[in-house]
Amino acid sequence: MTARAAPAPLPPATTVGLQGWLRQNLFSSWGSSAVTIVLAVVLSWVVVNLGAWVFVEADWTVIISRVPLYIVGLYPYEGYWRLCICLLLISVLLGMSWRAWPNAARRFAFAFGVIMLFVGVFPHEMAPDHRALLLLNLPFIGLGYVLTPRPAETSPGRFEAMAGSALAPALERVAIFSTPRRMVIAALVALVLTMILILGIAGVPGLDPVNPQDLGGLMINLLLAFFGIVCSLPIGVGLALGRRSNLPILKVACVIFIEVIRGVPLITLLFMSRHILPLTFPEDLNIDRVYLAGITITIFSSAYMAENVRGGMAAVQAGQTEAAQALGLRGWQTTLLITLPQGLRNIIPAIVGQFISLFKDTSLVYFIGMLDLVEMGRVSVQGNQEFIDNGREVYLFIALVFWVFCFSMSFISRRIEGVLGVGRR
Amino acid sequence: MAETNGVQAAVDIPADKAEILARPLEERDDIVVCENVHKWFGDFCAVRDVSMRVKRGEVVVIFGPSGSGKSTFIRMINRLEEHQQGRIVIDGIEMTNDVRNLDAIRREVGMVFQQFNLFPHITVLGNITLAPQRVRHMPRSEAEALAMQLLERVGIPEQAQKYPAELSGGQQQRVAIARALAMQPQIMLFDEPTSALDPEMIKEVLDAMRELAATGMTMLCVTHEMGFAREVADRMAFFDEGALVELGPPDQIFNNPQEDRTKLFLDQIL
Ligand SMILES: Nc1ncnc2c1ncn2[C@@H]1O[C@H](COP(=O)(O)OP(=O)(O)OP(=O)(O)O)[C@@H](O)[C@H]1O
Ligand SMILES: [Mg+2]
């Protein structure tokens, strides 16, 4: 045995602990001390006043009594169970993601479960069957988790190690989503089912069609943003490839499209879609404004997506293309197999960022008469004498809802960035 | 070195290659022919008037100061750079703008880069099987069997399922060699394959290259590993300021350089 080394000297007390932290970060000089004190005074003044208003003066009955309006708009009450089923489908997908990409998706699945739990037990009027369906989300997240095999590169979790040998064969048998292809198919099936459940099918009992104009509230903001991003991804990739192509006509067409769309505010495009696009349709073709808004938002988003994709592909090192060429791959093979996949991987955080800003932008659809979350808020205040003075409560609530969604998404995006940073670049 | 003979005995050389290797260099055919090749970047002449013939199965080491046009020269041999004057013929195929010729030449010539340039988004196995499947239309099972055989040959079959970033530099470069070999090229180009490696990894890559040379592969290697050159090269080419200054067997280059510039450069680096 060798002699034990002398204990390492401790850092001076002024650099550690609460005292050290305060000193280093808030009171490091006269100037910063002054700023700290002024800001502290202002902040506490704001917090005290706002807190007093939030907890004492404000009357939140308008929110509590109108929750369904804010969330789903005028969607018929008889169809609420269908929306609950959609949430269950999302839960299964989240459970699958949790299992397949634990680092990236775990918090997302967890947050979704917590929200569902909260909404399910929140004390306000709700039919018990809806409550039950909402609470079912938790087991459904677990279901998705169990249906997906553990990725080869991760080690078994604590629970799994405990249950271990006894359950392992059973777990393996039920893990049906064992390839990326099966997971993609599951996601697509869930997507189609969701659309069918939300809009209904004529003639199928229980699935009465819903007037698209009755879709509203937070649901329409999320739906428009989600479909906008999902549809604009392939279009954006096409535009980006067109812009990189050697065919002058294709290239010019793509550049013009991208630059024109990016140079016009979304609100203008929405007005054009409502008032000008229909002029170009045959007279008896009556496309609902919900779809017009969806198409417009997709087009809008595609132009930005194209630029993101182009940037992501440009960031792929030249050596990648050279290696592919040296191996004899053709130009298009190099693009599809090497540059594009790496480019898309580079822009995952940018896509999430675009989703966030698109989600916020969808509140503009109220200008063309749709009942999104913001418009529902306005209606619930101005359409009702009883709540005419509760505007502050309503808009604060709406801001909070947007913030919670956007903040959690950017948080998750940063996690994904971290995950992509290791191992696979 | 005795090791060369050991390696030579250990690898099995295809019959056609063995037959060629049995012949002395002078009696083999020229697989690479460059005549008065020039290359400009704008006004700057990066390669000037280079003529060189490489015999089948020959190993040529190219060396010279930084910026002397070594990379540019070997990149012209698989058309990563286009030559602007002169003539390049690879195994009887004239280097022209004709896509068919270009495809044929790229199938003949494999390349290993200083920075490895493995595809980071696919596994080691995927890196090696990609081109055989997409370019040679080899069935997947066959391509994978070939890939495993090549990984075995460069000594890292256990890394097949990993992603490139999970490997050490030396391992990555060996994967890059295997990837190029999977296209079953006649000629291999190496552009400073060990310059980006930590010293302890250089040997494993040089060993793989030695083994390859012993199988009768035609190789053009830009490298400053003079030990490797002395041992493996049939001839060495000294480049300076875009020109091929001296071309001769290692014995001549090291012991009796004909040009002052060669001698000066060797004195600096040895
Ligand atoms: N794409 C390019 N555009 C302009 N100039 C270039 C380009 N590629 C190379 N050059 C120039 O051509 C000359 C030769 O470059 P090359 O890369 O062939 O040198 P090298 O001998 O390989 O040097 P090194 O040992 O540094 O790799 C250099 O002066 C370089 O600056
Ligand atoms: Mg070079």
Asked whether the beta carbons of residue A327 and residue B130 sit closer than 8 angstroms, the reply is yes
Please give the full DSSP string across A365-396, using - where no structure is assigned. GGGGT--BHHHHHHHHHHT-GGGTT-HHHHHH
Contact A298, A232 (CB under 8 A): yes
Q: B109 to chain A: which residues are within 8 Å by CB? A: 326
**Regions of chain A where pLDDT drops below 70:** 1-6, 13-15, 123, 153-167, 419-425
Name which residue leads in pLDDT, B207 or B19: B207
Predicted local distance difference test score (pLDDT) of residue B207: 94
Strands B218-222 and B187-191: parallel
Is pLDDT of B17 > 80?
Answer: no
Predicted local distance difference test score (pLDDT) of residue B102: 92
Name which residue leads in pLDDT, B25 or B163: B163
Is B46's C-beta closer than 6 angstroms to any atom of ligand 1? yes
In angstroms, rounded to a whole number, what is the distance separating the alpha carbons of residues A381 and A374?
11
Give the three-state DSSP class for B70: helix
In angstroms, rounded to a whole number, what is the distance separating the alpha carbons of residues A382 and A398?
15
Quote the longest CA-to-CA distance of chain A: 94
Tokens of A265: 């505010």
Cα dihedral value A298, A299, A305, A307, nearest 10 = -170
Q: Which neighbouring-strand residues pair with B246?
A: B238
Element (H, E) at B188: strand B187-191
Tokens of B210: 């030695």
Least confident range of A7-11, B24-28, B196-200 = A7-11
Predicted local distance difference test score (pLDDT) of residue A360: 94
Is B109 an 8 Å CB contact of chain A? yes
Compute the average pLDDT of residues B230-234.
95
In angstroms, rounded to a whole number, what is the distance separating the alpha carbons of residues B245 and B52?
11
Site to probe by mutation for ligand 1, drawn from B38, B43, B70 as the one with most ligand atoms within 8 Å of Cβ, is: B70
Is B134 an 8 Å CB contact of chain A? yes
CA of B243 to the centre of ligand 1 (A): 13
Closest CA to B233 of B243, B242, B223: B223
C-alpha A401: how far from chain center: 13
Per the listing, tokens 């090749």 go with: B37
Q: Dihedrals φ, ψ of A186, to 5°?
A: -60, -45
Predicted local distance difference test score (pLDDT) of residue B5: 39
Q: How confident is the model at residue B6 (pLDDT cuts 50, 70, 90)?
A: very low
Q: How confident is the model at residue B15 (pLDDT cuts 50, 70, 90)?
A: confident
Q: Dihedrals φ, ψ of B46, to 5°?
A: -85, -30
What b-and-e string marks burial along A227-248, b requiring 16 or more CB atoms within 10 Å of the CB?
bbbebbbebbbebbbbbbeeee
Neighbours of B206 (CB within 10 A): 21
Asked whether the beta carbons of residue B163 and residue A424 sit closer than 8 angstroms, the reply is yes
Give the three-state DSSP class for A341: helix
Nearest CA owner, ligand 1 atom 17: B71
Predicted local distance difference test score (pLDDT) of residue A288: 84
Nearest CA owner, ligand 1 atom 12: B46
Is pLDDT of B2 > 90?
Answer: no
- For A88-120, the pLDDT digits (tens) are 999 999 999 998 888 778 888 888 899 899 888
Q: Which ligand is nearest to the CA of B81?
A: 1
Contact B161, B144 (CB under 8 A): no
Compute the average pLDDT of residues B27-40.
94
Predicted local distance difference test score (pLDDT) of residue A55: 84
Q: Which neighbouring-strand residues pair with B53?
A: B33
Neighbours of A393 (CB within 10 A): 21
CA of B85 to the centre of ligand 2 (A): 21
Is B170's C-beta closer than 6 angstroms to any atom of ligand 1? no
In total, the C-beta contacts within 8 angstroms joining chain A to chain B are 65
Q: B106 to chain A: which residues are within 8 Å by CB? A: 325-328
Closest CA to B186 of B154, B155, B220: B220
Nearest CA owner, ligand 1 atom 3: B41
Per the listing, tokens 């064992």 go with: A178
In angstroms, rounded to a whole number, what is the distance separating the alpha carbons of residues A146 and A149?
7
Contact B118, B175 (CB under 8 A): yes
Q: Which are the contacts of B232, defined by CB distance < 8 A and separation ≥ 6?
A: B4, B59, B61, B209, B210, B213
Sheet with B235-240, side-by-side order of all strands: B109-112, B187-191, B218-222, B59-63, B235-240, B243-248
Asked whether the beta carbons of residue B113 and residue A329 sit closer than 8 angstroms, the reply is no
Selecting from A319, A325, A423 the residue whose C-beta is nearest the C-beta of B115 gives A319
Contact A408, A111 (CB under 8 A): yes
Neighbours of B83 (CB within 10 A): 22
CA distance B266 to chain A (A): 30
Asked whether the beta carbons of residue B119 and residue A338 sit closer than 8 angstroms, the reply is yes
CA of B68 to the centre of ligand 1 (A): 7
Q: What percent of chain A has pLDDT over 70?
A: 92
Per the listing, tokens 């002398």 go with: A6
C-alpha B196: how far from chain center: 16
Asked whether the beta carbons of residue A328 and residue B121 sit closer than 8 angstroms, the reply is no
- For B167-177, the pLDDT digits (tens) are 999 999 999 99
Is B262's C-beta closer than 6 angstroms to any atom of ligand 1? no
Note the ipTM here: 0.91
Sheet with B85-90, side-by-side order of all strands: B44-55, B30-41, B85-90, B93-94
Contact B88, B95 (CB under 8 A): yes
In angstroms, rounded to a whole number, what is the distance separating the alpha carbons of residues A165 and A162?
8
CA distance B117 to chain A (A): 6
Predicted local distance difference test score (pLDDT) of residue B1: 37
C-alpha A249: how far from chain center: 36
Sign of the torsion angle spanned by Cα atoms B212, B215, B217, B220: positive
Closest CA to A240 of A324, A321, A314: A314
Predicted local distance difference test score (pLDDT) of residue B3: 39
Q: Is A405 left (phi over 0), alpha (psi -120 to 50) or beta?
A: alpha
Is A151 an 8 Å CB contact of chain B? no
Rg (CA), chain B: 18
B117: amino acid identity, one letter: N
